[in-house]
Amino acid sequence: MIAVRAPDHLGDAVMALPAIEALAALGPLSVYCSARWARELFEGLDLHGGDELPVAPEVAVCFKPSWHAAWRWRHLPTVGVGPAGRYKTTLPEAAEHRRERYARIVQAVGAPAPGVPVYRPRGAALVLPEGYVGFNPCSPSRTVRWPGFGALAERLAPHPIVTFCGPGEHRTARGAVGPHVKLVPGLGLRDFADALSHCTVLVSNDSGAAHFAAACGVPVVVVHGSTDPARTGVGTPVERPARLWCQPCYRKVCLWGTPCMDVSAEAVEGVVRTFLGRGASPG
């Protein structure tokens, strides 16, 4: 049996999906994850809570980059990437995209090379405008929130726009996009995937929603500031014309007011319109 400690952040978990599928080709697999969306994302797999401990697996793969997770699984034959000694088999750190890191881990235990993330389940249909532009302005981390969604909505008018947000993010999302943009809050992953079937392109912060939309087959445009597209990016990245000395930092708090997010709505609009001009649609 193979035990997998999956990431608890949606974007990382989506990036890990192909690696988990590759591990499943080796034999029985159990996935451990604490996130509320885990049952929908890992549908069809043997899923357990993140605080549960596996019983005598042949190998334990750790995708969650956490000292706490490594300590809790220290008695198991663990494999992961990190500082020397963190896991029983510790692979060295490397300058690579996170998907490449996950691929390196599973190939070290004999799994085939993973492909790209794909999410297939679909939920209940929503009545949404065909070919709309999707917005995802929310993120738990303030340092990745692009402040230009409201200006972008004005520049794209009258093209239909739909803004998505998670539970408890309604007020933040409304403040980001203004009073006239359609807002769809609190969808589960299956229903979100179905809603995205009408979307031409999703504009997002560097967040889990962007990775999930891409796995559903939707073109995504991601505004980056404190994060690096080469490490965590998906889709088409947009950054300020010249990087600051502090980029990327991956910090949750910025002492200078996130100048790295100084990306113009005009620049993002130009990229979005390339998808509108193609009539891009996931179908």
Q: Are residues 98 and 198 in the same domain?
A: no
Clarify whether residues 226 and 190 are in a common domain: yes
CATH of the domain at 24: 3.40.50.2000
Tally of CB atoms within 10 A around 175:
12
Q: Is residue 222 part of a domain?
A: yes
Q: 126 in a domain, yes or no?
A: no
**72 in the same domain as 6:** yes
For residue 118, being part of any structural domain is answered with no
Number of domains in the chain: 2
Nearest to 131 by CA among 271, 283, 263: 283
Domain boundary among 73, 108, 143: 108
Which stretch of DSSP H or E encloses residue 202?
A: strand 199-205
What's at 133, amino acid-wise?
V
Query: What per-residue confidence (pLDDT) applies to 141?
Result: 86
69 shares a domain with 140: no
What pLDDT score was predicted for residue 279? 52
Q: Specify if 103 maps to a domain.
A: yes
Q: Answer whether residue 228 shows pLDDT above 80.
A: yes
Give the DSSP letter of residue 279.
T
Q: pLDDT (tens digit, 9 = 90+) per residue, 20-37?
A: 999 999 999 999 999 999
Same domain (yes/no): 163, 264 = yes
Are 100 and 141 within one domain?
no
For residue 127, being part of any structural domain is answered with no
**Interatomic CA distance for residues 239 and 268, integer angstroms:** 9
Determine the structural domain holding residue 78 and report its residue range: 2-108
When pLDDT is cut at 50, 70 and 90, the band that residue 78 belongs to is: very high
Is the pLDDT at 197 greater than 60? The verdict is: yes
- The answer to whether residue 115 sits within a structural domain is no
Residue 120 maps to a domain: no
How far apart are alpha carbons 74 and 70 in whole angstroms? 6
Closest to 223 measured CA to CA, from 171, 275, 265, 182: 265
Q: Domain for residue 238, yes or no?
A: yes
**What is residue 103's predicted lDDT score, i.e. its pLDDT?**
97
* End residue of a domain, out of 50, 74, 108: 108
Residues 231, 175 share a domain: yes
End-to-end CA distance of the chain: 38
160 and 66 in a single domain? The answer is: no
Query: pTM here?
Result: 0.94
Give the residue with greater pLDDT, 14 vs 143.
Answer: 14
142 and 74, same domain (yes or no):
no
